[in-house]
Amino acid sequence: MSVVDVIKEQIESNPILLYMKGTPRFPQCGFSSRATEALMACGERFAFVNILEHPDIRSELPKYANWPTFPQLWINGELVGGCDIITELAATGELAEMVKAAAAASGASENAES
């Protein structure tokens, strides 16, 4: 399975997926920390991939997504954006609506790394 196939499978299998540096409990950069805080405030489970442990995904995902930076939030197979967009959506309440709708449509999600 190619790296791009792995990325596609992760995105398709997880309705709420955050590619980040570190983990939600131990983010390894300020941007990932802020994105995680915004997502956790929505009160729904979400999957994550620690790109620091997956250098192949770290190098391929920006090309696949046409988005150069991390974190990257994907909801229902669509790229939402990075930290700035996530925090803007959180401030307006749109993020919570998007996350709750995705969670309700699919049930609880698991860690994408499992």
**42 annotated ligand binder:** no
Is 63 annotated as a binding-site member? no
Segments in the chain below pLDDT 70: 107-114
Closest CA to 14 of 74, 67, 60: 74
> In the chain, what are the domain boundaries?
3-104
What integer pLDDT is reported at residue 19 of this predicted model? 98
Q: How much is the pLDDT for 7?
A: 98
70 marked among binding-site residues: yes
CA distances (Å), origin 106, targets 1, 17, 42, 100, 101: 25, 13, 16, 10, 9
CATH class as words, domain 3-104: alpha beta
Question: What is the structure's pLDDT at 106?
Answer: 83
* 21 labeled part of a ligand binding site: yes
34 is in an annotated binding site: no
pLDDT for position 107: 64
